[in-house]
Structure formats: structure tokens, C-alpha cells
Structure 1
């Protein structure tokens, strides 16, 4: 699903937050809470060096405005489904996007680069280094801004697109900060994240001064907003606009209202005739419910210091029909009934799929039918249960599985006491309520009987007499090295279950492979179908450690823990060769002393973090040698 910022609508007045791996969004019209900010893009999927919103500078008008970031020293932009690299390099991060340019800052040096989408970013100017949050912000006239908070009072400096300072605003109420964090602008409103608790501050530029105040605590690496009105320009009257999740609903339903007004209103007044609530003063009132049918005028009045505006939309609340079903509620199995829905003259959808007002049904068991009656866009559902008498007083024994040679006593009750069983093969009697079954195999026996409703019925029971079998476990107790495996093998049974299932490839096979990490006893149970007639057998596996042990990573940081990559072996092992190579095949280390190891350097120079390769040859007292090859990760 596309996740572009809606800079022409609701997102023009929201703040986007780079969380380190994804993007959240904050609604300034609501307080900071567990649901504000909320997730906008859970995981960006690429390393992100800062975040900004800019008109697409790389020819994709369908993806404009969109998110930009610095990923691996290249600008990348979001295309609606994923991130696309521009192929254009940038030596600085902390971007601020506008219409024709993106400006990026090296907070430590004060270097500002400008990017126009045609090639690598180029140096533009140098501003005061380490003087505030490492971030820039731009407006829709390609001016960019830098927030300086290394002194009190601080400054918000406005530069034109050539890097020339054109305005300065006094900043009060901020903590001292020279690095990290981020800031953003929505017209004259300033948002900033500092390395303090609480971290999130905001304030409005009034008479060339902004007084920042803490509004809560959020986790953020950078802030971004849509390129908007330049800071310092007097506010203009708002333009009222809002979105309804639906313009027609059913009585008793609820819809959502979202403010999409422009020019930064500061107050809101919603009117919802016959709604619950009937009024709201919130920017986004959320869900409003309507119980009474009718056509209502929804009104939003917005205002700021420059004026006010009103917008209305019509909402139609339709009545909900009351559905019902008539028909026979009791049948003998095999008979039919006609079910009719009301009220008449509207649309119907039965649980059977029929769209007629009446249906004819012949249920074989007690069945509940439902119908959806629709008038306009509103529906109601009615249920109707038809009781079927398939011999309610009759009862027959449960399906049975026994081992070979065990006779089975059948039984049935109910009806008038008159019964007939079929088939008769293997039965001790045909017309009694409790015949005895002998033989083998699987057979379904049926008993015909009568009930007090005059309905005949046939009840059935499945009887399975399992043939004999003999479980054989072909494994003996054994000892293996850690990392080796054992092929288990059993035969003679129709089905197998191994316990425990730990370290097995498939616990219901007759021949699973076991790769245990410690001493273990496996038990196999042989059964007939449905786990009948079980037989068991067990085997013990002892696991011992190998002669040579090598770690897969080490950290030569001088803390005395895992600083050296070395061969660990039993005392009788002779190390003949131990060599380390980089990925280009250059030998970095060599020794035959088992007490020595590689410290992560080559000719005294620490090597970069990454994967390196080892080659080892060891000898045993019996004259056997063993060659080992593999890789190890150097972590700093």
C-alpha cells in the first residue's frame, strides 16, 4: 500500500518522526499519548541518515511530495512501494527538503550542501558548527532554517536557497544542546526534539520570538514536515475542510470525522445534529454515532488569529428494517418446509444463497436458517430454527477400535424397542439391541429403529478390529560427538511416535534422524490406527564434545574478554598449522603454537570489522591429522 505523505491534505499539519528504523507521525492538535505519535511506516527497510519531505527531484511526479533520506552516502526517495536510490552522493546527512532543493547539514562542521536532483550534492555554505540539533528544515519557497540552541537565548536563522541569512528569530525556553535531536516547522510553529527528558518541545513565532515549551517525551532521530509557508509571515485565515468516512449510514452506526483544513487553524467547532456527541471542539473528533434516521447537516467552523471559515456536508442516516421468518419449526427427517421472510417488497439474501422472499428446504438435521433483509443500504438479519426429528430418543454406542481377538459388544436404545441390524456378518444376532461382533477389519453397522414422533431412523457405528503387529527397534545404545547425528530405525508397526521429539527431523516417522545436543533417551511407540494397541522400545544416545573447538566471532577491544581468536583443543592435540586470511586471500597471521592466537591486527594495524577465514591442521597421538577451514567474524 502506498505511504506517501499527503502534503495537500491532513499531513500538511502533521510532524513525521524518524524513529531509527521507521517513520511515525504526530498530530499537533492532540496531546502526546501512547497513540500520538502513531506508526506511519513500521520499517523503512534501509539504513536511514535523517528524514525529510521534498517535492520529487528525480523525475517521478507520481511520487511527489515524498520522503527522502541519506542511505549509505546516497540520497534515496520513497516511490510508494519501496526506496529508490538516486545514485547521487551526499557527504552530509540531516536533510531538509523544499520544492526545488534539498539542503543537508554536517552538524559537527557546519557544512551545508545543496541537492537539485541532477547530480551529487554540492557545498553551499558553512554555518555555526555544533550549535544545536543536527537538522535543517525548508519551506515551499526553498528557504532553509537552522535552530541554534548552544546559547540562551537561542536563534532560529532563516537562509535563502543560496545560503544567505535573511531573517533571525529569538528562541527562548530551550535546553542547551549542541548536537543530535532534530527540529521541524509548520509555518510559524516550531517543533524540536532535545537530548533531555521530557524531550519534545514546541512553540509559535510571535513578533519574531518563539518561546519553546515541553509537551511530552518521544523517541526520535529526526523530524520532518511537508514544505509549507515560510516562517515569519503573518498568518492567513484558515480554509475549513474535513473528511467523513461515509456520507450515508444506517441508524445506530458510527462514522469518523477528520479535519483537513488549511492555513493552520487554532480552534475548531463541530456540530453533529442528532449525533453522539452532538458537538466537539477537538481538531479530529474521531467517531460519532447516529441513532435517528434523517438527513443532517454536519458543520465545521475553524479559526485562527487571522479569521474563521465554515464548511458543511450532508449526512444521510437510513432506517434499519426489522426482519422476520415464518415456516414449520418441526419436521421429521426427509420432510420439507417453506420459509418466508418479511417485510415484503425489498431485497433478501438467505444463508442458502437464495435471493427470493420464500425458500423450500428439506433439512436432514436440526438447522438454523438466516436471512439478510436490505432496504437502501441498511440490513437486518433474522434467524429461524427448524427442528428435525432424526430419532431424538435413539442412542448408539460410540465408534470403537480394539486389538485383535477382543470381541465387541454393540448396543442401541430408543424408539419402540424394535431394532434391525445390518450387515449381519460377524453379529451374534440381527434383531436384538446388543449383538456381539467378532472377526477383524473395519465395518459400519447400522441399526434401524422407530421414535415416538413416528419418524424412522437409522443409527450407525464404526467398529475396527486391528490386526496384530510386532514392534522392532533396530538401534542399540550408542555414543556420538556433538554435532553428529544418528539414523533411528523401527519396523513392524502401522504407525510410529518418537518421544521426546527434541532434535528429531520428524517424530512420526519410522526412521527419523536425531542430532542431539546432550545425552538423551528416545522411546518409539508403535500403534495401529488412532493410537490403538501400543508397543514401545527405547535407545540411549550419549553425546561427547569434539576434540577441537573454535569460536565464530571475537571482539579485540582490549577488555580482556574474547580479545584473541585461538584454537581450543584437548591436551594431546598437536597444532601443526593455524593461518588467518582476509577475503582477498592475504595471509594476516600464522602460528603452530596452540597457546597463541590472532589479535585482529596485521603488521601492527587493527583490521576492519568483518568476516575472515582460517585454515587449521592438527595432529593426534595416533598419527591422524585433521584439516579445518571456516570463517570468523571480527567485531569492534
Structure 2
């Protein structure tokens, strides 16, 4: 127990042992290679033109199978980094190595190299991505006879391996089948079948093995470790639930034999077994499991810290208790869980009908009561089942009417429940103008004429909504307009222009004096004296509106022109204008000063002189005017005179 306390309080208490063991390591280091920890080595620091090799002192026998596991790290500089590392088998000795593109392998013969190349050398026929290849006899050119397999990416779909991360690198040799298999992060990437002893090493099965790495004009920090990775796993059937015995299985990776393990299960429980006994955690919650391993060389791993969630059991619930036909029968899961993550749902609707979505649509088509059961399972494998009776209710049916109205009067709305056995709990009118009402029947006065898209909603006592009914209504606003007041010459025909909104309208003008037809919207009037007309419009619904216009009758044709005006913007007599009863067409209207300078000119009776000349106020004084036009009988008609401008 003291040993465990030492390990989990601080790994530093082992450093004295580790440092003593480093001097006993069976490796020879060359060039830039250095030992970083008990089981880890730097082949090249991040510097140019370096070579580092680490060779095991003891040869291995290729007539025997081996399964070597390493961690490799190719640095962090993608693109500008180089050059790579290789796992090498050779018979020449333990002081070999080369800088640059050779990766410590080039020129060594006989040899076999599993090369991780992070730089594209065109003269070596390298691909543009970081790549893996198996080569022999120091030939690193991928187009040479020494290229046995590859090049390919180290990981499927990943072109960059200079990612600052450690990657598990496995070399597996089967001496019986003569198969060499290379895996990266537990993915088999390359495999060859070749008699290495006879085809490469001339019948000599005893070879040195180790790692080489190099840099050239570019560089990277390049490292490897004799793998010592603590890891654990759960059986595929293991559930992690409150009160359930949990079995942790060791799944560690190591280059050598794992001789010792130290477990901390996160709740104060510790163990040194290959795998701790099945363990029941005291309660649901989140725990941190720690694992440290030691191999037969005396190297001790970093501490694995892995979270483990012991889940609580779901509290099953769902809603609503009443579903309405005529709408999607949407059921919503309302299950809660104190610890863990809900992952699976299984609904049992009865009659062998099931569903496995979280929020399903119930399959029922007729009203009634149905027993529904739901089983919910968490990601941790914790399951609970609950059920309740769900009512499938009918949808009420309603109808509605709306009556058109004249502007200023009331529109009448009525609602009717066509399914009296389903009482209506609430009526809801949308009157189409932003106003609402909760009355079943109502009378409503709109503030403006027009068409309104009213709509009636209703909800039954069980909460089921009826299909809404559209009730379009119209407020008839005739907007009668008799026309602007005007003036006319005695006996001059005047075309009246009565206007109104709507179709199928009837018209009446009062009085009939001087009119050719009082029932037209645009009769012709010939008058002898001033007259005020009333224009009356009636719609098919019986709506009525009226308007008046006044006609001033002059003896004409004639031009009426004032003798003076005061353009001082006081709103009184500010403009000089001509009034021309009986003269519908004006040829010109002009104003001159006493020296004959033209100050104003117009060809329309609506144009007026504002007392300015070229944008500036004209002087006070007397001006000469002349007007000419064609009267309603086609005769040329003109007048002239003077006007006084007073300021």
C-alpha cells in the first residue's frame, strides 16, 4: 500500500530507480540521439543537418516471431519540417547513420527499413504527403528495386503526421509465414510476405535492430519510445450503472513484458492485479481511474487518467396524456437522469407495434384509451421502464358565418359546434385586422372599409383543436366623390365625373336641374346660374354614400383677371392668375414690364405668377398682361390689361 501511495502522490519518488536503470539500457546511441526518459529517445532535436540512431545491443533472431510496439512523434512543423525516421534491421553494426533524406537508412546493405518520411524529395520519387514505405538494402528511392511496399499515408486520409502527437507504431513479424505487418494507431497500413533471412540477409537470421532519424536543410524534433502505454477497456456487455459490479480489463501496450500494475479506481480503491476484481462503486457519479504500468526493463509509464461514469437509472416519463385525432399524435419523451446520458428509447404501443425514436408519432387512428410503455436506456447501459394510459380524443368540428356590413355598421359573426358531444372549452376569433375575440358569436365594427380575412378557432374541453374556419367579410365603403367645385360659362356643357368604390352600384344626382340624366355617374350639365349638386351612390347590399359639388356660373366666355396682387406669402392674394369661364383651351398668358421685358409666360389655366423674375422678387410697380384662348364654341378669344404688384 505504501508503494501505491508513493506512485499516485508523485511519480517523482521512482526517479532515483529510473535513473539507475537508464545506465543498464540495452541501447547504443549515435550522432544526435539522446535518452529522454527510461524508455524514450530523441533521434534528432529540431536542428538542421543531423543524424541520430539508437541500436539495441542484442541481435534478434528472425527465425523467431516478434511483435514490437513503439510510440513515435515526428514533431510539430508541417511543411517546413523534415526528414523522418525509420525502424531498421541490419547486420553491419551499431554505429551507423546518415543525415538528410536517407533517414539513417540509406546506404546500409543488407538491411530492411520501415520508413516514415516527412519530406518530399523529388529525386527519391517521394509523394507530396507524409508517407510510409517498406524498403531494403539501403535503397530509399521509391522507384528502385528496394521499394517493397508503399508509399502510402501513415493514417488513412491523413496527409500530415507532423502533428505534435504520439502515434502507436507496431512492427509484427511472423517467422512461420514470413509475413511482416506494419500498423499505425492500430490500423494495418502495410504488409509484405518475404523470407527476410534468405532474400535479404543471405541466410543469417541474427540482425541488429533499432531506429534512425535525420534532418537536412529542414528539421523537426523526432522521437520514439519503446511503447509503455497504460490503457483499460470494458467488456462489450459491461453496463456502468449504480449498484452494478464493474470489471476493468487491462488493455495496455508495451514493447516489453508488463511486470507490474498500479490501479486507483477513483473512489479510494486500489489494486496491483492484472485486472482489479469486479468493483461496485458506492453511488452513481463521475470517477477518475488511474493506471501506471512497469515493464521488464524497469521503465515506468506516465499515469493514465481516464474518466468513468457510473450512471443512475432513468426516471421514465412522457407527455401529453391526451392526444387529438386530426393532428399528428406527437408524443414527447420527458425522461430525466441524474448521472449519465440518455441514448436509446423503445416505445411499446400495444398489439406488437413499437418505435425506437425519442419523440415519436403515436400510431393510433381511433379514439379510446391505450396503454403505452416506454423503456429508456442510457449510454452507460442503465435501463428503466415506465408506462401510462394515453387517451386518443376526437377532434371537434365547427362551422362559422360572417355578414358583410356597410361602413360604420356592425359585421355579425356566428360560430357553431357541429359535434355537440364534444363541448367547446374556448372560442377564438381572429378578425383579420389584429383584433381578437373569445366570444362564440359577436358583432364588430371595423374602423375602415375593405375585405377582412377573419378566422374562427375552437378548442374542446379535452384540449383538441378544431380545424379553423376562414370567414372572409367585407366592409363596404363607397367613398362617393362628386368632383371638385368648378366654374363654367353660362350654357357651356359641363361633364360631371362622379366616382365611387365597388361594383353593381346605382347613382343619383340631385337636383335634376340642367342634367341630361340623373342616373349616370357622369351626366352632362348645362346651367344658367350657380348650382350645388348632391351625388348619391347605393351598393347592392343597400349601403349608401353621398357627396356634393358646387358649380359657379359666369357670363362667358370671359377672362377674369385681378388688377393687383401682394406676393408676400401671407396666404392672401399671393398670386396673379386668370379665371376663364367658357375658355377650356388657353393659347398663352403673358406678363411684361413697362419696357417690354417678359416676366411670365404660361399655356395652362392652372399656372400662376408668384411675382418673381429669374428667381428673384420683381419690383413693385405696374405690369402689362395679355391672355388668349379658344372658347367652348371654338372661337378665338383674348383680353389684355395691367396689374399692380404691391409689396
The question of a shared fold, defined as TM-score above 0.5 by the shorter chain, is answered with no
Max Rg structure: 2
Tell which has more relative contact order, 1 or 2 (C-alpha 8 A, sep 6+): 2
Please give the TM-score of this superposition, normalised by the length of structure 1: 0.29
- The structure with more strand, counted as a fraction of residues: 1
